[in-house]
Structure 1
Amino acid sequence: MTEAAIAGLVAGYGIAIPVGGMAVLIIMLSARTSLRTGLAGAMGTATADGVYALLAALAGAALITLLRPVARPMQWAGALILVLIGVKGVVAALRRPGVDARLDGNGKKPLRAYLELFGLTMLNPLTIVYFAALILAQQQTWSPPRAAVFVLAAFAASASWQAVLALGGAVVGRVLVSDRGRLLTALAGNGFIIVLAVRLFVSAL
């Protein structure tokens, strides 16, 4: 059980820590709305990681085979959505540079933020490939209790890191209180999202 827990924690942090589009979205969400909404979005991403960890633990090899034909279209879809989010954020920041950051979150509620980031994270099929590869590499039969420990540990690791990102975003939102600071934050964050989306699209070619 201890080995499964350690494997789950390593896997969860391994998939969560690298800076990607989801990380930037979580930070921006907290900075431009509220910590509560940012944490909800963070948990949406962590839930998706947990779902993929569960699927990988139950039928990793079979799901890799099943997802292989649709992996590239799913990556393209995820990249396109990120581009649209980034472009929309840049346009909104340029049109309304003086709007208070706490009021400029597209009216996002915590539940909506949770569902949006959950759905967007689920569009990345490489996550299940990652978890499945880690499980299959151990060349052991995973009993249900062992698989459950792995999945819970992976979710806990991802959730804790996403929460740190949300907290960081909330701090940024409080520090950059001037209109110029908010504008620069919006342009930098959304610009980075667009760059990451283009990289994702190119890697799927």
Structure 2
Amino acid sequence: MLNALTAGLLIGLSAAALAGGAALLVLETAALRGWLVALAAGAGIASGDAAWSAVVAAAGSPLGRLLAPGAVVLQWTGVVVVLALWVLAVRALLRIDAVSGPPDAGLPTSPRRAYLECAAFTAADTVTVLFFLSVIVGAAPSYRGLEATVFVGGAFLASLSWQWGAAAIGRRRRRGVSVRTRRIVHLIDIVLLTVFMAYIGLGMYQT
């Protein structure tokens, strides 16, 4: 049970930080649209991450049995996918400039719209999809019943905490997100992806 919770928290936090643009959107929304709209946006992103975590929990056990003969190869395939995402995160960090962020006109205007748009964005986002596919292929966690529920719940809570933390920071700002804040978000993303590579590469999901 503890292993499922730990895995859920790590995967949820990694997925939330991975979509750096989503966290920055929540920051901007809090600064320019208000606290409630930003909280709804963060909840939408966390719901998308939780939905993908449920797919991981459902697919992990049958895939683990089916792909057992090539488990080591698949494990390192997952590492390679996360490494590619890590490279993209480093590239994004190096490309950060003085652009303040998304235009005010592109931000959601109501809590309902913010939730629905952000949930849909997260569910279909290419980077998020690749991340969760790397979890399915590289780790194939075998959780059932209560363990699966704990895993998904941990992922949701970790993602929600990250997004609502971003909303709390954005609430204190009135002119959008600074370059320094953007760099910090991307640096955290890189650190978490490094930890997650070790998680898959060292087979820590098997403990």
Fold agreement, TM-score > 0.5: yes
RMSD over aligned Cα atoms? 3.1
Please name the residue that 1:53 is paired with.
53
CA 19–105 in structure 1, closer or farther in 2 if over 3 Å, else same = closer
Displacement after TM superposition at 1:111 (Å): 0.6
Distance across 2 between alignment mates of 1:34 and 1:109: 9
Listed one character per residue, the Cα deviations across residues 124-177 of structure 1 (whole Å, up to 9, x for unaligned) are: 14434433533554565322221111110000000011000011111112xxxx
CA 33–140 in structure 1, closer or farther in 2 if over 3 Å, else same = closer
Displacement after TM superposition at 1:13 (Å): 1.0
Please name the residue that 1:66 is paired with.
none
Q: TM-score, normalised by structure 1?
A: 0.60
What percentage of aligned pairs have identical amino acids? 31
CA contact (8 A) 1:4 1:149 kept: yes
CA 27–56 in structure 1, closer or farther in 2 if over 3 Å, else same = same
CA contact (8 A) 1:44 1:116 kept: yes
CA contact (8 A) 1:37 1:109 kept: yes
Q: Is the aligned partner of 1:6 residue 2:20?
A: no
Please name the residue that 2:103 is paired with.
89
Distance across 1 between alignment mates of 2:114 and 2:35: 12
Q: TM-score, normalised by structure 2?
A: 0.59
Distance across 1 between alignment mates of 2:52 and 2:141: 19
Displacement after TM superposition at 1:19 (Å): 6.1
CA contact (8 A) 2:57 2:144 kept: no
CA 88–28 in structure 1, closer or farther in 2 if over 3 Å, else same = closer
CA 3–132 in structure 1, closer or farther in 2 if over 3 Å, else same = farther
Distance across 1 between alignment mates of 2:32 and 2:135: 36
CA contact (8 A) 2:37 2:111 kept: yes
Please name the residue that 1:171 is paired with.
172
Task: After superposing the two structures, state which structure 1 stretch, 142-151 or 17-26, moved more.
Answer: 17-26
Q: Is the aligned partner of 1:36 residue 2:50?
A: no
Which amino acid is the alignment partner of residue 12 of structure 1? G
Q: Secondary structure at the match of 1:172?
A: coil
Which sections of structure 2, spanning at least 5 residues, go unmatched? 65-99, 187-207
Which amino acid is the alignment partner of residue 128 of structure 2? T
Which sections of structure 1, spanning at least 5 residues, go unmatched? 63-85, 93-103, 174-181, 197-205
CA 22–140 in structure 1, closer or farther in 2 if over 3 Å, else same = closer
Task: After superposing the two structures, state which structure 1 stretch, 19-28 or 49-58, moved more.
Answer: 19-28
5 Å-filtered alignment, 1:25-174, equals 25-60=25-60, 89=103, 108-134=109-135, 137-138=138-139, 141-173=142-174
Alignment size in residue pairs: 144
CA contact (8 A) 1:53 1:128 kept: no
Which amino acid is the alignment partner of residue 149 of structure 2? A
